[in-house]
Amino acid sequence: MTITGSWQRTARGAGLLGTDGRIASTIFAEMSALAVSTGAINLGQGFPDEDGPAVVLEAAREAIADGLNQYPPAIGMPVLRQAVAEHQRRFYGLEVDADREVLVTAGATEALAATILALVDEGDEVLTFEPFYDAYGGLISLARGVHKTVPLRLPGFVPDHDELRAAVTDRTRLILVNNPHNPTGSVLPKETLELIVELAERHDAVIVTDEVYEHLVFDGVPVVPVATLPGARERTVTISSAGKTFSTTGWKTGWIVSTPELVTAILAVKQFLTFVNGAPFQPAVALGLGLGDDFYSGIAATLQGKRDLLSEGLRAAGFEVTVPKGTYFVVADAAALGYDDGAAFCRELPSLAGVVGVPISAFCHPRLAGEYSSLVRFAFCKKTEVLERAAAQLAGLAVSAA
Ligand SMILES: *Cc1c(COP(=O)(O)O)cnc(C)c1O
């Protein structure tokens, strides 16, 4: 039997299919397997190795004990929708109607999937920055959209405004923003976001903004949610998730905030993807969203310390480091150590230093991968002692390069 279907489009988009048509492993799976087989410290995958707030975890256990174990409403439980609306008001001054403008999803991933499938028709263009979170490419392919990108350039991983202007046309259906940005850790300047809103208005595009790292920002850098900018609200789909904020990436509880019309269109697709999700997690995440300011400043400060620890270690090892303004990730340039091919370097790094990273080229189309070829992403959402050990092991690279 020959099995054909849209899986082939995603598989090719994600580089899963080898030239012989067989499933090849992604660099992410390959690196994680390498970490296991060599016992190296896995700074490749972006998940925390410590639990989030105990009260949030306890609330989920209580919800199960209390019998919240059947299908919740498709749009999400009122307690979580209200908490999301209150969160947008408290942090950003946005007034949100919890009954019509919030949709609970199976993580930010389903929010992205339902949004893209709902709004993109065959041949519509979707613009993202590049490098991009890998799911974007696969989801745009599933929707038979055309993926256009604008590069984030060094220093600082910021886009060139002329390139951005040139990339948005009347064919652009969605402008998909990720801020703070995975994999580069950059936070987009307000002027760039304002330009995105201006271009979206001019070309009647919808802005989809993935803000899952909204609370994980450093050095007092403000994150400006796109929806707070003049003219943006009515054409913006804001996506976030509990996974990164509460160190609960396995809960897959996310949400969309948008206009009633856009929420309805996205719900129409979401109902046939998962219908509903994660009943006992919803009141727990609602409780988390209501935690005090000390919790929110605390997670950012703790993560900033971890960023500094790993960045220092990478610099001492001889890498050129772009200090991230947000997220779980730091990008290091291995060219300074004499390596131009980040993917080859990542394959060697477990034996060289007992550490695993992911090449930035894995977040790029082949056309642009060359520009980023010596860059490697490392995750610092790990225990302090793990990062200290990684830094000490990486220091050996400087010795062997000297
Ligand atoms: C982790 C991540 C997601 C996925 O979030 P889930 O809630 O786990 O589905 C989406 N976008 C970006 C940029 C991420 O880093």
Listed in order, strand segments (DSSP E) in 204-291 are 206-210, 236-241, 254-257
Encode pLDDT of 269-304 as tens digits.
999 999 999 999 999 999 999 999 999 999 999 999
Ligand 1 neighbour 327 (Cβ under 6 A) = no
User: 146-155: long-range contacts (C-beta < 8 A, 24 or more apart)?
Assistant: 146/171, 147/13, 147/365, 148/172, 149/365, 149/368, 151/368, 151/371, 152/181, 152/184, 152/186, 154/322, 155/322
Q: pLDDT tens-digit profile of 143-161?
A: 999 999 999 999 999 999 9
Distance CA 87, CA 391 (A): 37
Q: How high is the pLDDT of residue 19?
A: 54
Helix (H) or strand (E) holding 85, with range, is helix 78-92
Is 238:256 a contact under the CB 8 Å cutoff? yes
pLDDT of residue 18: 56
Angle at 254 between CA 46 and CA 252, to 5 degrees: 55
Beta-bridge partner residues of 241: 254
Tell whether the model's pLDDT for residue 141 goes beyond 60. yes
Q: Which of 47, 84, 103, 109 to mutate to test the pocket of ligand 1 (most atoms within 8 A of CB)?
A: 109
Give phi and psi for 326, each to the nearest 5.
-165, 180
The predicted pLDDT at position 16 comes to 58
- Looking at 20-24, 371-375, 379-383, which range is the least confident one? 20-24
Q: Looking at ligand 1, which residue's alpha carbon is closest to its atom 13? A: 182
CA–CA separation, 243 vs 288, rounded Å?
Answer: 11
Residue 20 has pLDDT above 60, yes or no: no
Tell me the two tokens of residue 279: 């009943």
Ligand 1 centroid from CA 251, angstroms: 12
Q: Could you report the per-residue pLDDT of 76-122, keeping only the tens digit for each?
A: 999 999 999 999 999 999 999 999 999 999 999 999 999 999 999 99
| Residue-level pLDDT at 152 | 97
The number of the ligand 1 atom at minimal distance from the alpha carbon of 181 is: 13
Q: Is 131 in the pocket of ligand 1 (CB under 6 A)?
A: no
Mean per-residue pLDDT for 39-49?
94
Can you give the pTM of this predicted structure? Answer: 0.96
Residue nearest to atom 7 of ligand 1 (CA): 107
Percent of the chain surpassing pLDDT 70? 95
Which H or E run contains 214?
none
What tokens were used for 153?
């350039």
Helix axes 6-13, 134-142, angle to 10 degrees: 150
The torsion angles phi and psi of 305, rounded to 5 degrees, stand at -60, -40
Mean of pLDDT values over 330-357: 95
For tokens 């609970």, name the residue: 104
> Which distant-in-sequence residues (6+ apart) come within 8 Å of 264 by Cβ?
none
Query: Ligand 1 centre from 398 Cα, in Å?
Result: 34
- CA–CA gap between residue 224 and residue 220 (Å, rounded): 12
User: What is the spatial distance between Cα 52 and Cα 28, in angstroms, rounded to a whole number?
Assistant: 24
Cα 15 from Cα 99, distance rounded (Å):
40
Q: What is the residue-averaged pLDDT of the chain?
A: 94
pLDDT of residue 284: 98
Burial of residue 188 (number of CB atoms within 10 Å: 0-12, 13-18, 19+): buried
Which residue's alpha carbon is nearest to atom 10 within ligand 1?
Answer: 108
